[in-house]
């Protein structure tokens, strides 16, 4: 059973370009979470999705950031018009969703560098 897959692993963009980060959850997992890790900091929650539905986006910046998890295909985190402050590691996690503890399994992350 493959783990959570993220691609690309490294992404370089110039200011003003768009960044698209992809996440394929573990087989059988219906819920996806995105977290951002700034250098030397812990992970901060961004958004929580299930197929075709955003459950909680309280951690997403109001502008330029969007996320989706379509019926088919991976979850996408999209950052429009990137700025240097967007440089960070973006981690995706997935879970099978069960009542009570719903252990999240993390992917290897995408490291975004904005020049």
Chain residues that interact with another protein, rule: CB under 8 A:
4, 6, 31, 33, 35, 40-45, 48, 55-56, 58-59, 91, 93, 95, 100-109
Residue 18 or residue 41: which is nearer to another protein going by CB? 41
The first and second tokens of residue 91, run together, are 């981690």
Whole-number Å distance between alpha carbons of 32 and 34: 7
Q: How far is the CB of 106 from another protein (least distance, A)?
A: 4
Residue 17 or residue 22: which is nearer to another protein going by CB? 22
The first and second tokens of residue 31, run together, are 């819920």
Q: How far is the CB of 101 from another protein (least distance, A)?
A: 5
Q: How far is the CB of 79 from another protein (least distance, A)?
A: 19
The β-bridge relationship of strands 75-79 and 19-24 is antiparallel
The first and second tokens of residue 12, run together, are 């370089």
Q: How far is the CB of 72 from another protein (least distance, A)?
A: 23
Residue 40 or residue 63: which is nearer to another protein going by CB? 40
* Phi, psi torsion values for 15, nearest 5 degrees: -50, 135
Widest distance between CA atoms in the chain: 43
């Amino acid at each position: 059973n493959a783990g959570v897959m993220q691609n690309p692993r490294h992404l370089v963009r110039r200011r003003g370009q768009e960044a698209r980060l992809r996440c394929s959850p573990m087989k059988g997992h219906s819920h996806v979470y995105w977290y951002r890790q700034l250098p030397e900091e812990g992970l901060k929650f961004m958004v929580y999705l299930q197929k075709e539905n955003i459950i909680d986006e309280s951690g997403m910046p109001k502008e330029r950031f969007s996320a989706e998890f379509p019926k088919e295909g991976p979850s996408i985190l999209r950052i429009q018009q990137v700025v240097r402050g967007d440089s960070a590691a973006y981690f995706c996690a997935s879970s099978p969703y069960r009542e009570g503890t719903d252990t999240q399994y993390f992917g290897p992350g995408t490291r975004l560098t904005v020049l």
